[in-house]
Amino acid sequence: MSDDAPSRSDVPVESAHPYRALGCATEHPSHVFPVRTPFNHRSFDALAATGVDLDVVSPTPFAPPVGPFSEYRHVPKTERWGSYEVHYPRYLYALPKRYFYHRSGDSLRRRARRYVESTFETPHDVAQACSFYLDGYGLLDYCRAHDIPLVALSHAGDLKNFETFNDGVQARIRETIDYASAVLTVSDELADIARRFAPASKVETLPIGEDPEKYPRDRREAIRAELGIDPDTKLLLYVGRFEKEKGVRELAAALEALDREDVSVAAVGHGGALRWWFLDRLGELRHPAHAYWELDPIAVRRLHVAADLLVLPSYFEARPTVIYEAMAAETPVLASNVGGIPEMVVDGETGVLVPPYDAAAVTEALDYLLDDPERLRELGVAGLQRLLDQQWTWTRHGERLTEVHRRVMRD
């Protein structure tokens, strides 16, 4: 389904009766991991805002007493997030993941059913999973026992990485997709991949988005002054994991080759194996560079508003949340033409697209764009207008998700 196509549902959200939904996201924030996959929280928050009676579980591994995963012991049993409460039932996560990831799913599946049935009034009317695996698979026993339709939304990982999983995980992903009443993806490119696993009638694109009213665009100059950014300095912003798939090696090389005196760099990270390598490279730049780690969303929005350009030279993506955020902030985008990014960024109209793995192309595009501040402003204005025209907002996301739920509950 294209982004601007009419909904298949003929029941207006505001006039329909409320229903009960069970949400599942193993990758959900908590006070231990406050910035982990924030789009899952925002999706549930948008769903709850439509009037849905929402219960959410975020199955969490049992923590070992010591070692790199011992911090999981601090994940609470329950915690309030926005308009709903999250429950964090425990399950057994088997390592090494390469060989035993399918066993982790089996543990989650058994324990999720027992926890939901003992904690909530059952049955729910519909189940909403934030991925096929582990989330959707983990709800299968509960859904089958109570004849509940399952809706699963993929952000890329389980579909794009399908061939990297062992046979057991692949079989469990297929089982989940077979049971699901609706297979949702965040981009058309990802929907094409999903149709290799599911009938086309089950697959549709359901974009996420961002809410422009949360971005203080009218305070841009004041925010830049607070951050110590000179009016003539062009602030380049990167937001994402510090890992090779995000193109941080190419980004570092492109910035090193950028022979300008009017540039400052801000990099916001929240995970990734190349964290310290990337920060070391930023520290060696001739340009002023500041790195931030696991920033609060309010602070990230301020940086988007302050920035002159978002730079995202990824190798593959679905539809990255950070681009929606830049559009909401009226900030143009320089990104790789991979995955669902060309569905978001209109090359030459709301930003510029370059090939992946090409640091020289990034440097060339940066030079071109930074030489024309007025052009940058025009691209940013057009990006915000595209966000509004396509209704890529969390409010509309919640409404679309509710429409899907009502359809599968009727079927």
CATH number at residue 278: 3.40.50.2000
Strand partners, 154: 185
What confidence tens digit (pLDDT) does each residue in 218-268 have?
999 999 999 999 999 999 999 999 999 999 999 999 999 999 999 999 999
Residues 159, 228 within the same domain: no
Residues 266, 158 within the same domain: no
Q: How far apart (Å, rounded) are the C-alpha atoms in residues 254 and 238?
A: 13
Q: Please give the order of strands across the beta sheet that includes 150-154.
A: 78-81, 84-87, 53-57, 20-24, 126-129, 150-154, 182-185, 203-205
DSSP H helical segments within 62-180, as ranges?
97-119, 137-138, 140-146, 157-160, 167-179
pLDDT, position 350: 98
Beta strands in 155-301 (DSSP E): 182-185, 203-205, 234-240, 263-269, 289-293
pLDDT, position 270: 87
What is the mean pLDDT of the segment spanning 382-392? Answer: 98
Is residue 68 situated within a structural domain? yes
Strand partners, 54: 21
pLDDT, position 18: 87
HSE-up (13 A, CA, CB side) for residue 322? 25
Is residue 131 situated within a structural domain? yes
Q: How far apart (Å, rounded) are the C-alpha atoms in residues 47 and 35?
A: 20
16 has a pLDDT exceeding 80: no
Is residue 8 situated within a structural domain? no
Residues 276, 182 within the same domain: no
* Whole-structure pTM value: 0.92
Phi and psi for 207 in degrees, rounded to 5? -70, 155
Q: How far apart (Å, rounded) are the C-alpha atoms in residues 50 and 11?
A: 13
What confidence tens digit (pLDDT) does each residue in 148-172 have?
999 999 998 889 899 999 999 999 9
HSE-up (13 A, CA, CB side) for residue 235? 24
Question: Do 217 and 249 contact (CB within 8 A), yes or no?
Answer: no
Strand partners, 238: 267
Is residue 248 situated within a structural domain? yes
Residue 387, number of CB atoms within 10 A of its CB: 25
Tell me whether strands 20-24 and 78-81 are parallel, antiparallel or unpaired.
unpaired
Tokens, residue 230: 């000179």
Residues 31, 43 within the same domain: yes
Q: Could you say which DSSP state residue 243 is in?
A: S
Mean pLDDT of the chain: 94
pLDDT, position 9: 42
Q: How far apart (Å, rounded) are the C-alpha atoms in residues 387 and 392?
A: 5
Domain count, the chain: 2
pLDDT, position 68: 83
Is residue 4 situated within a structural domain? no
What confidence tens digit (pLDDT) does each residue in 132-145 have?
999 999 999 999 99
Residue 92 to residues 100, 116, 265, 297, Cα–Cα distance (Å): 11, 17, 42, 31
377 has a pLDDT exceeding 50: yes
Residues 219, 363 within the same domain: yes
Is residue 3 situated within a structural domain? no
Residues 351, 365 within the same domain: yes
Question: Do 8 and 1 contact (CB within 8 A), yes or no?
Answer: yes
What is the mean pLDDT of the segment spanning 281-299? Answer: 93
Residues 165, 291 within the same domain: no
pLDDT, position 122: 81
85 has a pLDDT exceeding 80: yes
Q: How far apart (Å, rounded) are the C-alpha atoms in residues 12 and 384?
A: 27
What is the mean pLDDT of the segment spanning 89-103? Answer: 95
pLDDT, position 188: 96
Residues 202, 275 within the same domain: no
Is residue 318 situated within a structural domain? yes
Q: How far apart (Å, rounded) are the C-alpha atoms in residues 111 and 61?
A: 11
Residues 265, 168 within the same domain: no
Tell me whether strands 234-240 and 309-312 are parallel, antiparallel or unpaired.
parallel
Residue carrying structure tokens 């024309």: 372
Residues 226, 242 within the same domain: yes
Residues 247, 319 within the same domain: yes
Q: Which domain holds residue 191?
A: 13-209+393-410
What is the mean pLDDT of the segment spanning 392-397? Answer: 97
Is residue 1 situated within a structural domain? no
What confidence tens digit (pLDDT) does each residue in 340-355 have?
999 999 999 999 999 9
Nearest to 42 by CA among 381, 324, 243: 324
317 has a pLDDT exceeding 80: yes
Residues 375, 288 within the same domain: yes
Report DSSP letters for 28-50, one per residue: ---SSSTTSSHHHHHHHHHHHHT
